[in-house]
Amino acid sequence: MNPAIWLAVMVIGGVGAVTRFLVDRAVSRRVGRPFPFGTLAVNLSGALLLGFLGGLALSHEQALLMGTAFVGAYTTFSTWMLETHRLAEERQLWPAAANIVVSVALGMGAAFCGQWLAGLL
């Protein structure tokens, strides 16, 4: 890989991380509940986008830049697990379990939906 690709990964990854912050904050402010709806919205939209990108015939560089750099920085497994752990520590066991089940089930559905949408093109 050449230095331009590495630079693009850094820039696009930075854009993905900032976008995650903005979406999470906007959703969390609008909902205003202790359940991590912001992270859920980010991860579901990221799964949809990654499924869509996976359904396209992208070159290796395009997949790296869009799938790994942007979507990888946009979505967040670690925050999802930290928020689930926080819910469990606060004895909010049903919301903690719901966060896991809903995130996985809807995330899989979003990824399949993204692939389906890409197939329509």
72 is in an annotated binding site: yes
Decide: helix, strand or coil at residue 83.
helix
Contact between residue 13 and residue 69 where contact means Cβ atoms under 8 Å apart: yes
Q: Please state the residue numbers annotated as binding site for Na(+).
A: 72, 75
Q: Please state the residue numbers annotated as binding site.
A: 72, 75
